[in-house]
A and B are shown apart, each in its own frame.
Chain A
Amino acid sequence: MSAVVLQMLCVAGMLGSAVLAIVLSRSTIATAIIYSATLAASAIALIGSIHWLLGDTTNATDLTLPIGLPWLGAHFRLDGLASFFLVVVNLGGTSASLYGLGYGHHEEAPQRVLPFFPAFLAGMNLVVLAGDAFSYLLCWEFMSLASWALVMAHHREPGNAKAGYVYLVMASFGTLALLLAFGLLAGPAGDYEFAAIRAAQHTPYVATLVLILMLLGAGSKAGLVPLHVWLPLAHPAAPSHVSALMSGVMTKVAIYGFIRVVFDLLGQPSWWASVIVLSLGGITAVMGILYAMMEKDLKRLLAYSTIENIGVIFASLGLALAFQANGLKLLAALAFAAALFHVLNHSFFKSLLFFGAGAVLIATGERDMDKLGGLIHRMPFTSFAVLVGCVSISALPPFNGFVSEWLMFQAVLQSPELPQWALKITVPAVGALLALAAALAAACFVKAYGVTFLGRPRSVAAETAEEVDHYSLSAMFILAALCLLAGILPGLVIDALSPITLQILGGRMPIQINEPWLSIVPIAESRSSYNGLLVMVFIAISASFAVVFIHRFASHALRRGPAWGCGFSDPTPAAQYSGGSFAQPIRRVFGTLVFHARDHVEMPAPGDIRPARLRIESHDLIWEGMYEPIAGVVGFAADKLNRLQFLTIRRYLSLVFATLVTLLLVLAIWS
């Protein structure tokens, strides 16, 4: 059985479980059955795709089904790039199903989630497997609709209806852009098969338009600024394991689409296209993490952080484009591998963090960080797993986030090799933006972790929280272990990615597995190398040494005294450092520019017994400056056109008549 058939059988299994979920909708055992089925299907698909990725990836396997357009059929194809993204999708699917086995029992209306969860997984698998533009768009829409249904699962909660609406509008817009892009790629001959598109020559004009349309289409799904507005609304609205899939996996499927078209189908890129991608990536990274910093809702914070990571990935892809356009294949492979590595890493730790947020939500019923706190005492295992996720996403060694960002900065540092001055200037500037984003990300997750898990509980719910079930915990711990493994053994991952860079770019990074001590050496030993294993061993030894030293040699004398309250003697938990207080310095520095943030202090006159108040005013400039005017114009036009709904029959006839005569006139004058 060829590999692609195996994958399609797994997809069929997922679709079958979706149907089964409809049949079983009201049954109490449905949750266990459906999540077990998706767990099995995605685990098999995961093993199959890993096996294929590590094996011989030069021979892509095809499958053509006689469905879809009659003269085209539905092509499915498994090659190196697709198999890598299948690994990402199915790893997310496996862990989310495992998590759902526990989390799903808390669902109030499981019949709103169960049919769509397997369908969503199947949709993402199919998008990656699609081998012609028609199947691609069809599966893409299927994926969007299934995820939309999951966003609307809790449609009675305030804000979710709006989230669903904005998501639907943006998804339609994105698909429209993709449709136009594929239409341009297929050309007047209308051959929608990827192989034919790849073989065709595309004029620079078409290539530019396609790149811009892909940035709009795939970018809106991935969450590129300024097309990101739906993402922080929709991702948190879904149940947490679905949020994990949407943030950790669906955004990656969008990136797959971008890579497939821009790197694979479009042929040789032009260098200035990379400037657009690079700048958008850098801006997205910084804006995303600034939004996240200001957020106090845990899941929305994670969604905004997804935007930051998408920015990082797009910046790496832009770098790869820049190097590729100049024929620097090794460096292009380095940047591209960094992007793919970050795709993998982000799917690990973002899923993990959303699982953690879901666990907190189940245990306390709260997403607002300012009502949480002290959960490390009540939920020690969840806290530990989330800590690993936070450290990874903050790009601290020895975890995986550091490796991919380090690789990316290695590529940024090679920018002097580029001949164009525009790129020589842009790349370091974007590098600076990315460095800023990385630092802010660390601050953001210090805030998220510190306010949620440390300190004292700020509400009764946080005080009485209980540790979550074993399924959820095991899903989190598996992902945490993967974060550590990918961090200390990055050479294995890079070697697995090399066939893909070879397939897409025609270049590859040096083989890493033969380096002594499992180091990774992106270019040459003399330039730079990194060894996650040694870093971990060093951290472990020095930490144990410090612990032993303190316990052995520090004074054991006991002294009791009042705790120092930083000059503030009120002991209520509400007086703790909150998320807002943590973000305040950063809001002061960046907020005035980016959010037009103002602090208003209402200080009552002496003798007045009103409390003093601090009010913070902040604006989402992208929403107010871009989307509200568009919505205004659409509303105005709809108001004006509304009159057309209430014409007399004779006027309608006259309209038809006038249109016909006008068209005939146009023909008569210009033919």
Chain B
Amino acid sequence: MQMHSLSFDVSHTLAGGLVLISFMMLYQDRLYSLLNVFALHALVLALSVAWQAFVQDAPHLYITATIALVFKAIIIPVALHRIVKQLGIHRDIESAVGIGPTMLAGMALVALSMVLMLRVTAEADPLAREDLAFALSVVLLGLLVMVTRRNAVSQVVGFMSLENGLVLAATGAKGMPLVVEISVAFSILIAFIVIGIFLFRIRERFDSVDVSALDDYRGERR
């Protein structure tokens, strides 16, 4: 019982930390710092998954944790760093929506997911319940990052953090097969590659990765 309570507290802390880091992403207005926060996000995710593997005694989750650590905490942030440098946008400051309203919206979303999850999953295992509520918050905050940013790189980061929320939800539930997790991770990698290629194509054509350039190209008013 004592052990159980400890495991509960640790996983709770890690998942809560993930939500907190998602909040941190919301107010980063420089790309480098956003990427650093994202790397931290992935690191905490890897820790959380590894803890779940330990608690649930499911060794295959260690693989998932390793994938999260290697790809999301190291390779993708490094690659995005390089892209940002090559594109020469590391000095860009962007603020589509003000920080204050974004933070308020983020709080509202977390409140919504808590209320919803705790009510819907009333009969479920308390560990999984909390986990799911946090995971939904992370997903919604990732979407919020995508919506409030104008730069394509930060939209990619929002998308990746959204996916982190999905992994958190998947590992919280017992018995998720490894194949599913690996395929999710793989598809995210593919998506990252495709988006990266698109970034360069957009850059070549418009001299900017601000997606509003695409809208200007289509002759749209905003």
> Closest approach, in angstroms, between the C-beta of B78 and any C-beta of chain A?
26
Interface string of B197-222 (1 = CB under 8 A from A): 00000000000000110110010101
A650–B115 alpha-carbon span in the complex (Å): 28
Q: Which chain B residues lie closer than 8 Å to A653 at the CB level?
A: 143, 146-147, 155
Mark out the residues of chain B between 84 and 109 whose CB falls within 8 Å of any chain A CB in the assembled complex.
96, 109
Given contacts A650-B147, A653-B146, A671-B119, 16 further A-B contacts (CB under 8 A): A646-B218, A648-B220, A649-B211, A650-B149, A650-B150, A657-B143, A657-B144, A657-B146, A657-B147, A660-B143, A661-B140, A664-B112, A664-B113, A664-B116, A668-B112, A668-B119
B residues lining the A interface (CB < 8 Å): 96, 109, 112-113, 115-116, 119-120, 140, 143-144, 146-147, 149-150, 155, 211-212, 214-215, 218, 220, 222
Interface size on A, residues (CB 8 A): 15
**Which residues of chain A (626-671) have a CB below 8 Å from chain B?**
646, 648-650, 653-654, 656-657, 660-661, 664-665, 667-668, 671
Residue among B116, B144, B149 making CB contact with A668, cutoff 8 Å: B116
* Set of chain B residues within 8 Å of A650, measured between Cβ atoms: 96, 147, 149-150, 211
User: Contact between B215 and A648 (Cβ–Cβ < 8 Å)?
Assistant: yes
A329 to chain B, nearest CB (A): 56
Chain A residue nearest to B149 (CB atoms) is A650
Alpha-carbon distance A204/B146, docked complex (angstroms): 51
**Can you list 25 A-B pairs with a CB-CB distance of less than 8 A?**
A646-B218, A646-B220, A648-B212, A648-B220, A648-B222, A649-B211, A649-B214, A649-B215, A650-B96, A650-B147, A653-B143, A653-B146, A656-B143, A657-B144, A657-B146, A657-B147, A660-B143, A661-B109, A664-B112, A664-B116, A667-B116, A667-B120, A671-B116, A671-B119, A671-B120
Bound CA span A653–B147, Å: 6
Pairwise interchain contact B115-A668, C-beta atoms closer than 8 A: yes
B residues in contact with A656, CB < 8 Å: 143
Find out whether the CB atom of B211 lies under 8 angstroms from the CB atom of A654: no
Q: CA of A660 to CA of B120 in the docked complex: distance in angstroms?
A: 16
Residues in A with CB closer than 8 Å to B109 are 661
Chain A interface, >50% SS class: helix
A660 to B112 alpha-carbon distance, docked (Å):
12
Q: Which 10 A-B residue pairs are closest in the complex by CB-CB distance?
A: A668-B116, A648-B215, A654-B147, A657-B143, A657-B147, A653-B147, A649-B211, A668-B115, A653-B146, A664-B116
Q: Chain A: which residue is nearest B143 at the CB level?
A: A657
**B112, B147, B215, B220 pick with most chain A CB within 10 angstroms:** B147
Complex CA distance for A667 and B215, rounded to whole angstroms: 35
Give Cα A661 to B109, complex, Å: 8
Q: In the complex, what's the smallest C-beta–C-beta distance from A274 to chain B, in angstroms?
A: 49
List the B side residues contacting A668 at CB < 8 Å.
112, 115-116, 119
Name the distance in Å between B197's Cβ and chain A's nearest Cβ. Answer: 17
Give A142-167 interface residues, CB cut-off 8 Å to B: none
Query: What does DSSP make chain B's interface, helix, strand, loop or mixed?
Result: helix
Interchain nearest-CB distance for A662 vs B (Å): 11
Q: Is the CB of A661 within 8 A of B112?
A: yes
A665 neighbours in B (Cβ, 8 Å): 112
Shortest CB-to-CB span from B157 to chain A, Å, is: 14
A657-B120 Cα distance, complex, nearest whole Å = 21
Give the CA-CA distance A649 to B198 in the complex, in Å.
Answer: 14
Q: How far is the CB of A108 from chain B (nearest CB, A)?
A: 45
Instruction: State A650–B116 Cα separation when bound (angstroms).
Output: 26
**Most chain A CB neighbours (cut-off 10 Å) among B113, B115, B119:** B115
CB of B48 to closest CB in A, whole Å: 23
User: Chain A's nearest CB lies how many Å from the CB of B133?
Assistant: 12
Complexed CA–CA distance, A657 and B211 (Å): 18
A657 CA to B106 CA in the complex, in Å? 13
* Distance between B24 CB and nearest chain A CB, rounded to angstroms: 20
**Which residues of chain A are within 8 angstroms of B120 by Cβ–Cβ distance?**
667, 671
* CB neighbours of B215 from chain A (8 A): 648-649
A441-485 with Cβ < 8 A to chain B: none
Closest to A648 in B: B215
Residues of A within 8 A of B116 (CB): 664, 667-668, 671
Q: Provide the bound-state CA to CA distance between A664 and B140, in Å.
A: 11
The residue in chain B whose Cβ has the minimal distance to the Cβ of A665 is B112
List the A side residues contacting B212 at CB < 8 Å.
648
Which of B96, B116, B144: most chain A Cβ within 10 A?
A: B116
* A664, B150: Cα distance in complex, Å: 25
- B163 CB to nearest chain A CB (Å): 15
Q: Which of A596-654 contact B (CB under 8 A)?
A: 646, 648-650, 653-654
> Which B residue sits closest to A647, measured CB to CB?
B220
* Interface positions of A from 228 to 257, Cβ below 8 Å from B: none
The interface residues of chain B lying within 8 Å CB-to-CB of A671 are: 116, 119-120
Residue of chain B at shortest CB distance from A658 = B147
- Distance in angstroms from A661 CB to nearest chain B CB is 7
- Determine how close the nearest CB of chain B comes to the CB of A642; give it in whole angstroms: 13
Min distance, Cβ A189 to any Cβ of chain B, angstroms: 27
- Shortest Cβ distance from residue B116 to the other chain A in the assembled complex, whole angstroms: 4
Closest A residue to B109 using CB positions: A661
Roughly how many angstroms separate A650 CA and B113 CA in the complex, as a whole number? Answer: 23
A582 to B116, CA, bound (A): 74
Which B residues touch A649, using CB under 8 A? 211, 214-215
CA distance A650 to B212 in the complex (A): 9
How many angstroms between the C-alpha atoms of A266 and B184 in the bound complex? 49
Contacts of B96 on A, CB cut-off 8 Å? 650
C-alpha spacing A650/B147, complex, angstroms: 6
A653-B155 Cα distance, complex, nearest whole Å = 10
Q: How far does the Cβ of A294 sit from chain B's closest Cβ, in whole Å?
A: 51
The minimal Cβ–Cβ distance linking A190 to chain B, given in whole angstroms, is: 26
B140 contact set on A, CB distance < 8 A: 660-661
Closest approach, in angstroms, between the C-beta of A519 and any C-beta of chain B?
75
Minimum CB distance partner of B113 in chain A: A664
| B119 / chain A contacts, CB cutoff of 8 Å | 668, 671
Residues of the B chain whose Cβ atoms lie less than 8 Å from the Cβ of A667: 116, 120
CA distance A653 to B212 in the complex (A): 14
- CB of A648 within 8 A of CB of B211, answer yes
Query: For residue B150, which residues in chain A have a CB less than 8 angstroms away from its CB?
Result: 650
Instruction: Give min CB distance, A628 to chain B, whole Å.
Output: 34
Complex Cα spacing A278 to B126, Å: 63
Q: How far is the CB of B84 from chain A (nearest CB, A)?
A: 19
